[in-house]
Structure 1
Amino acid sequence: MCSILGYFNTALSYSEVVKQNSIMVHRGPDDTIVKEYKFLNKNLYFGHNRLSIQDLENHANQPMENERFIIVFNGEIYNHFEIRTQLQFSKFRTTSDTETILWAFTEFGIEKAIEQFIGMFAIGLFDKIAQKLYLIRDRVGIKPLYYTMQKGEFSFASELKGFGEHLKKTTSNKALIQFMTLGYIPNDNSYYDGINKLPPAHYAIFDGVNIDIKKYWDLPEEKINISYNEAVKETEQLIRSSIKYRLLADVEVGSFLSGGIDSSLVSSIMQQESSQKLKTFSIGFEDKFYDESVYAKEIAKYIGSEHYEYKFGIQDVFKLLEDFDKFYDEPFGDASSLPMLLLSDKTKDYVTVALSGDGGDELFLGYDRYFTTESYYKKLKQIPQSLRTILSVIGKYSGQDKLKKISYPLKQLSEQNLYALLYSSTKPWELNSLFDKEFSRESFGKYEVSLQDILEYELDGDSLIDSLSRLDFHRYLPDDILTKVDRASMSYSLEARVPLLDHRIVEFAYSLPIKLKLKHGPKSILKEILYKEVPKELIERPKRGFSVPLKHWFRKELKDIVYDKIQSLDERFNKQYLNKIFQDHQNGKNFEYVLWNIMRIK
């Protein structure tokens, strides 16, 4: 795992580019280098910080080049030794996957090479002969990659901190609205005007003047005809293959273990496939209501792993708050990033690579909000519009928080409005209370903004549940979950691998009919596989997720901090509205996610 960086036609000096590269050294402390090249007779800098995982020797450092290409690469290609057998070139100097993919691009071309890759990747690739610069991001968006073109200067980086301040002069009002709604910034947007994320499953071609963005992969649209038992068997084979691949490393590999379905499945199969005792890691809470570490400990004992845990409390929050925004570069509202940061810190003391169970909920339908949205929509659709309008008014003025929240979707009934209730921090119809009306219009071209507008995504599945799952795959997964894991782990030079998001598993999961996935309830296919390895009674309990007791902290230890933050906000915000939210929270209502997002505003 590493960081990559590039500058073309920049006024920055070599030493200034070196400084920008060094800001990301936490992603790769084992080697850091910047090299200068020529691109259309103008300067081109490639920077790299290396976390050595495969081939730990200096000859595997980057940038790496052959007669045609120069490459900087962040990620892992787990099947690269198999790819070597398909190449005509055989005089490899290293056992590094970087050298393998360098020659794969040379012999196969861009898209045909990517087709061969099993792994996670963000790549900068300069074609010396064609005089073109390529940026490439993995299919799911596991590895981050940002780029910008401003006044003839083209730059790219693994994190926003890699860009000079001259490229981050203004923040995006649209991104601010998106963040306050979702708790993350979706799609190809960033917090800064003019800086974009390269979307997952895309590559960019820069010819020195223009940028062309191309999509090279997508989820399957067609469903396959297969039995449930066949689906379970194929899924298990793919997961086992994926985990075997992700054990490839010249350093020790461990596993995050929460005690839930996904991490327990990954950890139990890892222990079977490992030649040594697996190290597993979990985070708990001093507040026993939120602490589920006891379940992880029970799973670890059963599978025979060497288990480590850390208990997380309010003092840890205070220690992290000062540096939190440095880790995430732009506003990021997923509060579970706090324990994730601590877990990564403690894990790095023992291993350099850790496998995570992320992705199971999106692929195999583990989120309750999918089913709640579908159920409520079917029921409410049976009520005449006139009666729903009356109920909406009653709910709005009832004084009951839950009834008030549902009043708008009752009147303006749609699947996306119901989903917004469960999915968003600030509801789209509340934005004109949080901000000035003109602020929303200037950013989105309309006064009334929908969840679809915020997400920049249209539901496109063959059923509501399939559509919501695909929405989460394209937005929530890369822009929240994987962002959280990448920044938290890389802040401590720890590589996180996500075996359930192997693209072969993704393709198979989305080709399965929804009824088949849900034959025995949510995530029944994954449960079926897990219960062969771990007793059912150790797993089955109410799903809580990686919850953090923010609502209590905002009434006690963090009360003054969030109040002062509200008072410091500029004229874009309606402080009267936010002060009311703050007071309502003190009086027992729950606005923890809105308040946490407010604390993240820069």
Structure 2
Amino acid sequence: MSGICGWIGHGGQEDGQRGLLNAMAVPMRRFDDAALHCHVGKLSAVAVAATPGAARLLRVGQVQLAIWGRPRLRDATLAQQAQGEGLGRVLAGLWRQGPELLCQQLAGSFALCLIDEAAGEALLALDRMGTLPLSWQLSGETLVFASTADALRRHPAAPARIDPQSIYNYVYFHMVPGPDSIYRGQQRMAAGHYLHYRQGSVEQRCYWRIAFEEQGGAPFGELREQFRQVLRSSVKEAADGARTGAFLSGGTDSSTIAGVLGEVGGAPARTYSIGFDAPEYDESAYARIAADHFHTEHHAYYVTPQDVVDAIPRIGAVFDQPFGNASAVPAYYCARLAKADGIERLLGGDGGDELFGGNERYAKQSVFARYERLPRLLRRALEPAVHHFPGRDRLYLTRKAHSYIAQATVAMPARLETYNLLGRYGPSQVFSDDFLAQTDAGAPLASLSATYGRSEARSLINRMMALDLKITLADNDLPKVVKACELAGMQVAFPFLDDAMVAFSTRLTPAQKLNGTQLRYFFKEALRGFLPEAILRKQKHGFGLPFGVWLQDHAGLRELAGASLHSLAKRGVVRPAFIEQLLSQHLREHAGYHGTMVWVLMMLEQWYQQHEDRRV
């Protein structure tokens, strides 16, 4: 792993300060013992735990810079200056012109800390997509920061008390949405934001938020050529400086990256995929179609139930927040396969759905939106007629009409959570009374609505994509892949999140993303003839895990899940009766559906064991 940690506004003896930095860095070096580089001042300290090429510590006069990731300068003159004088000197010069200007000049993926102790100021900043994590806490006049919550809480000014609301939000979303943390008082930097510390106080600002043009412009042929040029440039940039391969699930995004990687590299790409001995989940045949089409050097690994048992504690350990996306397991084994093959960096296709309109709910919600466009008087007449129709539930058409209207009348974005798993069970059936008394059941939807409301997009699909850039991408998919790769000792980059690619996507019209109910319309048409037709036609899947199915048949997996849930039941969070019902009744009724909640609760307990219980 790599990362940064440190503080400003807290003094002490140099030996003690260095010892504290070393203690904070322990969680960031847990899996690979990365080299540690430190600087200690009178009232500040900063360290980077660095695997080669992943992080660096720079000093320019009185200014200290800790950089994790691969930032670039947008301005060509400044970029050339940095080649001669060094990136640190250019950033220090920009800092003197203000934090906003500095952040706006940065491209690429990065988490940045700048400390100007003489001025009593510091800057924390995250890239536009929020690729890398950075947590912080202000205690009195001391600002403490770190790449993981575990590192942050090792500073005496940052006591760690679990926030019950964050646990509730985790069970609701299957992750803890930022900027909140599992620990009360801690905050996580948001994508496209910076934090300016000045003489004991902090100010947070958004320096970038996606803005959609939404108007038609260039003809298709011109857009297609621009897209392909940006795509090649983005993949080339992402692959630069390391022995690079590509994740290959057989979907449109990973197949595109694999094909372009071979083009820009001048040799067949090295690709890596996973499979399962579970036909409904196994996508390896599509990965093979793409590999054969692009003549890649393809490698596949078949994940077994025992692999899942072995990985679960490690997955629980590498995530500093509770994390319930089961596809972290296959992502880890895929990255480990590439590592064993000598690959240093993998390219992931994440972001394509959120930029080009590929998530299935976009089409579904567009159907509901048609109902909203009906005249209000017509809706007022329809609704009671359908809801009170005699024998409604016995007739297919009236039953479907009732379901459609019931969902269509729910306002966005709450409509996206109509089938939320926690909502289906009922919070009062899942959580203990004492736990619920400490939480706000409306908080998850309130935070979702706040994020949705910040978008200035006019079209429904662009508003949903702006929401997904945070909830689906920054809070879920990116941490999943980044942490899984860290666990395997692998760098990762995301060509679709290159700034030029993001900017290109904003110029597409809503209809070029969702044409009727056709998802990713422009993307697929622009790559027709490049991607195999079978890939263009296939349903979206990804690295799903057949956990519920395997839970029925594999004793070791069943024992680990059962032991984890029974241990969780003793923590006063979840009702023991719900645990028993989930394991004994619900799983028999529908293993795939209810297996999701088993996984979510199991990983919550694994987080407790790997993080909280270890410090007792």
TM-score norm. by structure 1 comes to 0.87
Q: Partner residue of 1:532?
A: 529
Q: Partner residue of 1:20?
A: 24
Aligned mates of 1:572, 1:394 — CA distance in 2: 39
Q: Which moved more, 1:526-535 or 1:98-107?
A: 98-107
Q: Is the 8 A contact 2:413 2:452 kept in 1?
A: no
Q: Which moved more, 1:548-557 or 1:265-274?
A: 548-557
Instruction: Give the match's secondary structure for 1:283.
Output: strand
Q: Is the 8 A contact 1:21 1:34 kept in 2?
A: no
Q: Partner residue of 1:5?
A: 5
Alignment of 1:161-560 (within 5 A): 161-165=150-154, 167-226=158-217, 227-249=219-241, 251-349=242-340, 350-376=342-368, 378=370, 382=379, 384-386=382-384, 409=406, 413-422=410-419, 424-427=420-423, 430-436=426-432, 439-440=435-436, 442-444=438-440, 451-453=445-447, 456-459=450-453, 460=455, 461-519=457-515, 521-557=518-554, 558-560=557-559
1:369-396 C-alpha deviation (Å, 9 max, x unpaired) = 122133245459858444565589987x
CA shift, 1:515, in A, is 1.3
Aligned mates of 1:267, 1:376 — CA distance in 2: 36
1:198-250 C-alpha deviation (Å, 9 max, x unpaired) = 1110110112411111110111144233133333333222222212222221x
Match of 1:561, as an amino acid? L
Aligned mates of 1:453, 1:28 — CA distance in 2: 36
Q: Which moved more, 1:520-529 or 1:343-352?
A: 520-529
Match of 1:462, as an amino acid? R
CA shift, 1:365, in A, is 1.0
Task: Specify whether residues 21 and 358 from structure 1 end up closer, same or farther in structure 2 by C-alpha distance, changes over 3 A only.
Answer: same
* Greater share of helix: 2
Alignment of 1:95-110 (within 5 A): 98-99=87-88, 102-103=91-92, 105=94, 109-110=98-99
CA shift, 1:448, in A, is 5.1
Q: Partner residue of 2:600?
A: 597
Unaligned runs of 5+ in 1: 55-60, 93-97
Aligned mates of 1:572, 1:391 — CA distance in 2: 42
Q: Partner residue of 1:95?
A: none
CA shift, 1:426, in A, is 1.8
Aligned mates of 1:88, 1:32 — CA distance in 2: 24
Match of 1:510, as an amino acid? T
Q: Partner residue of 2:612?
A: none
Aligned mates of 1:150, 1:107 — CA distance in 2: 26
Match of 2:174, as an amino acid? G
Q: Which moved more, 1:211-220 or 1:566-575?
A: 566-575
CA shift, 1:362, in A, is 0.8
Q: Which moved more, 1:214-223 or 1:410-419?
A: 410-419
Q: Partner residue of 1:562?
A: 561
Task: Specify whether residues 545 and 499 from structure 1 end up closer, same or farther in structure 2 by C-alpha distance, changes over 3 A only.
Answer: same
1:474-513 C-alpha deviation (Å, 9 max, x unpaired) = 2221000001011111122211110101123223323422
Task: Specify whether residues 104 and 89 from structure 1 end up closer, same or farther in structure 2 by C-alpha distance, changes over 3 A only.
Answer: farther
CA shift, 1:363, in A, is 0.8
1:318-352 C-alpha deviation (Å, 9 max, x unpaired) = 11122221111221010000101111122122211
TM-score norm. by structure 2 comes to 0.85
1:49-88 C-alpha deviation (Å, 9 max, x unpaired) = 112238xxxxxx8321112421111110256894545539
Aligned mates of 2:579, 2:389 — CA distance in 1: 27
Instruction: Give the match's secondary structure for 2:81.
Output: coil
CA shift, 1:101, in A, is 5.4
Aligned mates of 2:196, 2:73 — CA distance in 1: 25
Do residues 67 (structure 1) and 61 (structure 2) align? yes
Task: Specify whether residues 18 and 154 from structure 1 end up closer, same or farther in structure 2 by C-alpha distance, changes over 3 A only.
Answer: same
Aligned mates of 1:88, 1:144 — CA distance in 2: 25
Q: Is the 8 A contact 2:259 2:269 kept in 1?
A: no
Q: Partner residue of 2:50?
A: 50
Aligned mates of 1:560, 1:10 — CA distance in 2: 49
Do residues 34 (structure 1) and 46 (structure 2) align? no
User: Over aligned residues, Cα RMSD in angstroms?
Assistant: 3.3
Instruction: Give the match's secondary structure for 2:129.
Output: coil
Q: Which moved more, 1:3-12 or 1:111-120?
A: 3-12
1:587 to 572, 586, 589: 589
Q: Is the 8 A contact 1:73 1:121 kept in 2?
A: yes
Instruction: Give the match's secondary structure for 1:5.
Output: strand
Instruction: Give the match's secondary structure for 1:481.
Output: helix
1:531-553 C-alpha deviation (Å, 9 max, x unpaired) = 33233235422222221112213
Instruction: Give the match's secondary structure for 2:49.
Output: strand
Match of 2:352, as an amino acid? G
CA shift, 1:162, in A, is 1.3
Instruction: Give the match's secondary structure for 2:418.
Output: helix
Identity %: 21
Task: Specify whether residues 128 and 184 from structure 1 end up closer, same or farther in structure 2 by C-alpha distance, changes over 3 A only.
Answer: same
Aligned mates of 1:454, 1:192 — CA distance in 2: 20
Q: Is the 8 A contact 2:251 2:535 kept in 1?
A: no
Aligned mates of 1:448, 1:139 — CA distance in 2: 29
Q: Is the 8 A contact 1:389 1:411 kept in 2?
A: no
CA shift, 1:254, in A, is 1.5
Task: Specify whether residues 88 and 154 from structure 1 end up closer, same or farther in structure 2 by C-alpha distance, changes over 3 A only.
Answer: closer
Instruction: Give the match's secondary structure for 1:546.
Output: coil
Instruction: Give the match's secondary structure for 2:451.
Output: coil
Aligned mates of 1:595, 1:472 — CA distance in 2: 25
Do residues 148 (structure 1) and 137 (structure 2) align? yes
Aligned mates of 1:191, 1:10 — CA distance in 2: 28
CA shift, 1:278, in A, is 2.3
Q: Partner residue of 2:614?
A: none
CA shift, 1:274, in A, is 0.6
Q: Is the 8 A contact 1:189 1:196 kept in 2?
A: yes
Q: Is the 8 A contact 1:178 1:454 kept in 2?
A: no
Q: Is the 8 A contact 2:368 2:404 kept in 1?
A: no
Do residues 138 (structure 1) and 127 (structure 2) align? yes
Instruction: Give the match's secondary structure for 1:32.
Output: strand
Aligned mates of 2:552, 2:390 — CA distance in 1: 30
Aligned mates of 1:463, 1:150 — CA distance in 2: 42
Aligned residues: 578
Aligned mates of 1:470, 1:429 — CA distance in 2: 29
Aligned mates of 2:56, 2:247 — CA distance in 1: 29
Match of 1:370, as an amino acid? Y
Match of 2:483, as an amino acid? R
